[in-house]
Amino acid sequence: LFVEYGLLERAGLYKVENYSVLEPPLASIGKMSQIAKNDPLILAMIEEKELVSVKDEKASLGISKYHMAIPLIDVNNTIYGAILVERIQFFALKNTTLTLLAVMAGHIGDLLRHEITNPVMTYEESPYFIRQVKRANKEAKRYNIPSQLLKIKANNITDKSTQLMSYLSEARRGLDIYLYDNQNQVLLLLMPLADELEKAGFIARMNTWCKERTGSTLAELDIVIEQQLALPISSDDIKRLVSLS
């Protein structure tokens, strides 16, 4: 995701413990050089607990070999990892790209905090889902970064509807977060960083999956998209939607 959205050419993902970036990289694109512990960009990232690039005054106290340092940080400001970028396409160092990467890192940091590798939550986990919706809502207001919220419901619970709902959980995008009421077959889907076109593409794919997997259309199974909202929305809308009623 970071390579695709950030146009990274050489970068590494590192674990962070006790405010120290640890070798070796957990993953990388291109061959990374050894970490310079006192690199001004790394020090600024740890101190500020936010994305720092060579454009920032915070990192101007010395020469850095990195173009960017991105912390994977949760809502409590705990840093779990860092992406160090040694080479990036020059035109990618613009404010819109930097903001997008920082927002992505925040979402991933939250997932790491909860040790969620496949975030499909049950109704009992509604409070955590609500926190993620509020975070995406805040980012939509502050940065004008799109996110989508869908409510999908099976009005007639059958083996086929169960099959499709299970498949939707398996086919989710990397940053998507689901809240699923298995008993009533109601699925809430938060799609961070997704615009209207991506939402429409998902709905089209869902229709295709339904036909391929069950031999029936969504309409024939009486599976409906009750709500489809582009963030930001009001707090009342969030409460009403997450009630799963």
Q: Helix or strand or coil: residue 30? A: coil
CATH for 163: 3.30.70.2880
In sequence order, the 6+-apart residues with CB closer than 8 A to the CB of 179 are: 121, 122, 123, 125, 126, 129, 187, 188, 190, 242, 244
Region 161-174 average pLDDT: 86
CATH for 98: 3.30.450.40
Region 134-150 average pLDDT: 87
Residue 135 shares a structural domain with residue 89:
no
Q: What is the pLDDT of residues 67-107, one digit of tens each?
A: 888 888 887 788 999 999 898 776 556 677 777 777 778 77
pLDDT exceeds 90 at position 235 = no
Residue 66 shares a structural domain with residue 100:
yes
- How far apart CA 100 and CA 102 sit, in angstroms, is 5
Of 78, 95, 113, the residue at which a domain comes to its end is 113
pLDDT bin (cut points 50, 70, 90) of residue 245 is low
**Among candidates 223, 218, 229, which has minimal Cα distance to 185?**
223
Region 154-164 average pLDDT: 95
Would you list the DSSP string of 112-143? Answer: HHTT-SS-EEEGGGHHHHHHHHHHHHHHHHHH
* Residue 61 or 133, more confident: 133
Bond prior to 232 in cis (omega within 30° of 0): yes
